[in-house]
A and B are shown apart, each in its own frame.
Chain A
């Protein structure tokens, strides 16, 4: 054996000294390696003629045939990217500023107890599952028995129930609205904590200068919230290609898929329903890589603006 240098033996000494720390880290490290990194080996099947049931490396290498199918032969990518971007950007661009405005309105409400109650209530949907959300929506809006549909028919506002869950016309609006319902309370908490950091002297000083309520909101509160909003907007935009599979699995059906199906759902459909594993994996790889690049760009931007990074 060759003689190790001084630094190498120093390294071994440190490892030995810290062995108990490393033992404690080992389970988390190995589990992460197994469940998050080892699946990367499975990317190989996108480049081979893998058949269900075989080992991952059994397939013959076929090059970029699957990617060609996605980009050249099929036009699916067009509607998939359209749906994914519209619904994800919609939730970011509409719902985040809405949460900021709501935070200001909470603060301006003269009845503090009331503001606290509404704020608590609006945070609750964050903690319930998408299945429950679906159940609530179904009970209110299903075509033949939904409470709101039935009520509107009874009072004569509409003749037939609105088919919110089954018609392609409502997909985008419904998903953005549902996202607002579920996550506004959560986003609002972030804005409220920024608001509580505004020094009171600022308001007092502006009062001495004769500013009224609206001027105070416009020239003090809003400028304080804008950086938070920017960071949230940028951070969320790293995820525009990713959707919550649970959510879209539940709401995508055979009548509204044209406007509802997103990339993740497409991967699920082609992979686990139609068992075209190589193709589905190829779509997944494209999505993962673009997402990764976007998140890196986002991280760099946030770092520049804010002096903190997300990793």
Chain B
């Protein structure tokens, strides 16, 4: 579309560009500050907006990568972000295949039964009592089991499968395979793009999750995830081991830059997958928002 230049149009473009620049700054600056603050030496940065780091030092990171609490928490976060998504894909993928069959017996009931949970929850306390009753408090599996069925991801998988021609699965059935063979030998491979997308969404969810640690593993420091350790250092104070390491490092680091360094290592994985994430998510969002 060609645009005629008019005075009002040019003025509007100028303001629009300025506005976009402001949005850009608001979105990017907090991350820039946190990163620069994590690698600046203490004492140099007070009252500065730190558009560039001052007196670069990586001591905060050196301390973190030697700290047992942080390493343990990071490993735990990685573990749940890998085991969780694959478990979810297995359970929700199979269910998605079943629910995609139009002639499934009681299909309407099953679909309602699962998708209704997107809009309704019994509440925090009853769920807490259940988890406690099952003996899941104080266990790693409390991070995995309740998240195995993801209605949102299930919709994405189901919608994708509905777009695959029936003839593909018929070939396997004629060869004497069961529906289980159809899914695991054939459909699961055709679903590669949607499977990759839901694995990624689920991994992000697991990585970012924080309140489940607070609710169920509050009393078990060995099961703290990275997000939870970060929250604790922000809201209260550094752990004892970090405090000692900081004192040992004397003037090369301070509480603030250690906090910022933990934040950076928590953001970094998401930043790395963001380009892929964005592309998948936009298409996923469209499927999900059109129809359950």
Could you tell me which A residues sit within 8 Å of B by CB distance?
11, 14-15, 18, 20-25, 27-29, 31-32, 34-43, 45, 56, 102, 105-106, 108-111, 114-115, 117-118, 120-125, 127-132, 134-140, 145, 147-148, 150-151, 153-154, 181, 185-186, 189-190, 193, 200, 203-204, 212-214, 238, 245-246, 249-250, 264, 267-268, 271-272, 277, 280-281, 284-285, 287-288, 291-292, 295, 308, 310-311
Q: Which of B126, B209, B266, B267 contacts A39 (CB 8 A)?
A: B126
Check: B127 CB closer than 8 A to any chain A CB.
yes
0/1 string, B80-112, CB within 8 A of A gives 1: 000000000001101101110101110000101
Check: B253 CB closer than 8 A to any chain A CB.
no
- Given the complex of chains A and B, what is the CA–CA distance between A203 and B1 in angstroms? 9
Q: Contact between A20 and B180 (Cβ–Cβ < 8 Å)? A: yes
Q: Contact between A124 and B27 (Cβ–Cβ < 8 Å)? A: yes
Given contacts A105-B19, A288-B123, A139 and B278 within 8 Å (CB-CB): no
| A and B contact pairs by CB, cutoff 8 A, 18 listed | A21-B104, A25-B95, A25-B110, A32-B117, A37-B122, A42-B125, A118-B27, A125-B27, A129-B210, A139-B30, A139-B33, A145-B46, A151-B48, A246-B210, A271-B128, A284-B123, A291-B120, A310-B119
Residues of B within 8 A of A40 (CB): 122, 126
Q: Which residue of A lies closest to B208 (CB)?
A: A129
Q: Contact between A130 and B210 (Cβ–Cβ < 8 Å)? A: yes
Check: B248 CB closer than 8 A to any chain A CB.
no
Q: Which of B191-247 contact A (CB under 8 A)?
A: 204, 207-211, 214-215, 227-228, 230-231, 234-235
Check: B159 CB closer than 8 A to any chain A CB.
no
Given contacts A35-B130, A214-B8, A131 and B119 within 8 Å (CB-CB): no
In the complex, besides A18-B179, A109-B17, 10 extra interface pairs with C-beta distance below 8 angstroms are A15-B105, A25-B104, A28-B154, A36-B120, A42-B127, A102-B23, A122-B27, A123-B278, A129-B209, A140-B30
Q: Contact between A193 and B123 (Cβ–Cβ < 8 Å)? A: no
Q: Contact between A42 and B126 (Cβ–Cβ < 8 Å)? A: yes
Check: B78 CB closer than 8 A to any chain A CB.
no
Q: Contact between A190 and B285 (Cβ–Cβ < 8 Å)? A: yes
Q: Contact between A136 and B30 (Cβ–Cβ < 8 Å)? A: yes
Q: Which of B128-169 contact A (CB under 8 A)?
A: 128-130, 133, 145-146, 148-149, 154
Residues of A within 8 A of B228 (CB): 131
Choose among B48, B260, B274, B278 the residue with the greatest number of A CB atoms under 10 Å from its CB: B278
- Given the complex of chains A and B, what is the CA–CA distance between A250 and B213 in angstroms? 13
Residues of A within 8 A of B12 (CB): 108, 213-214
- Given the complex of chains A and B, what is the CA–CA distance between A195 and B232 in angstroms? 43
Residues of B within 8 A of A264 (CB): 124
Q: Contact between A120 and B266 (Cβ–Cβ < 8 Å)? A: no
Could you tell me which B residues sit within 8 Å of A by CB distance?
1, 3-4, 6, 8-9, 12-13, 16-17, 19-20, 23-24, 26-28, 30-31, 33-34, 37, 46-50, 91-92, 94-95, 97-99, 101, 103-105, 110, 112-130, 133, 145-146, 148-149, 154, 178-180, 183, 204, 207-211, 214-215, 227-228, 230-231, 234-235, 256, 259-260, 263, 266-267, 270-271, 274, 277-278, 282, 285-286, 289-292
Residues of A within 8 A of B105 (CB): 11, 14-15, 18, 22
Q: Contact between A24 and B210 (Cβ–Cβ < 8 Å)? A: no
Q: Which residue of B lies closest to A291 (CB)?
A: B120
Q: Contact between A139 and B34 (Cβ–Cβ < 8 Å)? A: yes
Q: Contact between B231 and A134 (Cβ–Cβ < 8 Å)? A: yes
- Given the complex of chains A and B, what is the CA–CA distance between A29 and B100 in angstroms? 15
Residues of A within 8 A of B145 (CB): 31, 35
Given contacts A136-B30, A147-B37, A128 and B270 within 8 Å (CB-CB): yes
Q: Which of A11, A38, A56, A147 contacts B50 (CB 8 A)?
A: A147
Chain B nearest Cβ from A252, distance in angstroms = 11
Q: Contact between A24 and B95 (Cβ–Cβ < 8 Å)? A: yes
Q: Which residue of B lies closest to A18 (CB)?
A: B105
Residues of A within 8 A of B130 (CB): 34-35, 38-39, 42
Chain B nearest Cβ from A280, distance in angstroms = 5
Q: Contact between B148 and A117 (Cβ–Cβ < 8 Å)? A: no
Residues of B within 8 A of A249 (CB): 211, 214
- Given the complex of chains A and B, what is the CA–CA distance between A28 and B114 in angstroms? 8
Residues of B within 8 A of A310 (CB): 119, 292
Q: Contact between A136 and B34 (Cβ–Cβ < 8 Å)? A: yes
